[in-house]
Amino acid sequence: MESDYLDLYHPRILELDKHPYHFKKCVEEPILIANNPFCGDRFKLFDKSPNKDYAALFFYGHGCAVSKASTSLLVELFEQKGLTGIRELADQFAKFIYKETDHCAEDKLLIFENVRNHPSRLDCALLGWNELLKKLH
């Protein structure tokens, strides 16, 4: 039973929880606020790129290891892929997490494979991604 619970935490998730990418409190208006009212998790995304083209993104807030790791990867991949690319990926990642497909378009996101077997934690993995799909067109 214990291992069932702990297989949620891929070593890379624990690492990203401790050392997230571009995790910093910023003063600008966030471009996105991802909020889970049930657990109080809440991250803000900031665009610090001079041209506001998502080339230099940062995030800050509170959340569990899973939501923090996944938002960290969101920020990193967002910078690489730009808006169209990240929206496409978010769509695909949500399908992967909800087990609508077994294909994961981005290797880095495979660390969330086991999350798919933890129904109560799906929202953690998708926190920022779902908000992105809702808010940024």
Partner 1 sequence: MNLKSHFPIFDTHPELVYLDSAATTQKPRNVIKAITDFYESSYSNVSRGMYKLSTDATQKLRDCRQKVATLIGAESSQDIAFTYGATDAINKVAYGYFKPKLTAGHNIIVTTMEHHANLLPWQKLCKESDTELRVVRLLANGNLDLEHLVELMNEHTMLVAVTHISNVLGIVNPIEQINKLAHEKDIPVIIDAAQSISTHTLNAIDLDIDFLVFSGHKMFAPTGIGALYVNPKYQAAFDPHFVGGGMIESASFFETVYQDYPQVLEPGTPNIAGVFGLGAAIDFMDDHSIYSQYDRLELLTQDLRSSLSNYDRIQVLGDSTNSMNIVSFEIEGIHPHDIAYFLAGKNICIRAGHHCAEPLLNSLEISAVARVSLSVYNEHRDIELLLEALKACINYFE
Minimum distance, C-beta of residue 62 to partner 1, in the bound complex (Å): 4
CA–CA separation, 59 vs 43, rounded Å?
7
Residue 68 binds partner 1 (CB under 8 A): yes
Identify the helix (H) or strand (E) that includes residue 62: strand 57-62
Candidates 27, 37, 50, 102: give the one binding partner 1 (CB under 8 A): 37
Segment 38 to 57, residues that bind partner 1, using CB under 8 A: 38-42
CA–CA separation, 130 vs 34, rounded Å?
8
Residue 17 binds partner 1 (CB under 8 A): yes
Residue 119 binds partner 1 (CB under 8 A): yes
Nearest of 25, 24, 31 to residue 47 by alpha carbon: 31
Rounded to 5°, the CA angle 71-45-126 comes to 30
Minimum distance, C-beta of residue 29 to partner 1, in the bound complex (Å): 18
DSSP letter at 98 equals T
Segment 74 to 103, residues that bind partner 1, using CB under 8 A: none
Cβ nearer to partner 1, comparing 43 with 54? 43
DSSP letter at 137 equals -
Candidates 27, 84, 107, 120: give the one binding partner 1 (CB under 8 A): 120
Q: Please, which residues bridge with residue 45 across strands?
A: 32, 59
Q: Which residues bind partner 1 (CB under 8 A)?
A: 1-6, 8-9, 14, 17-18, 35, 37-42, 61-66, 68, 119-121, 124
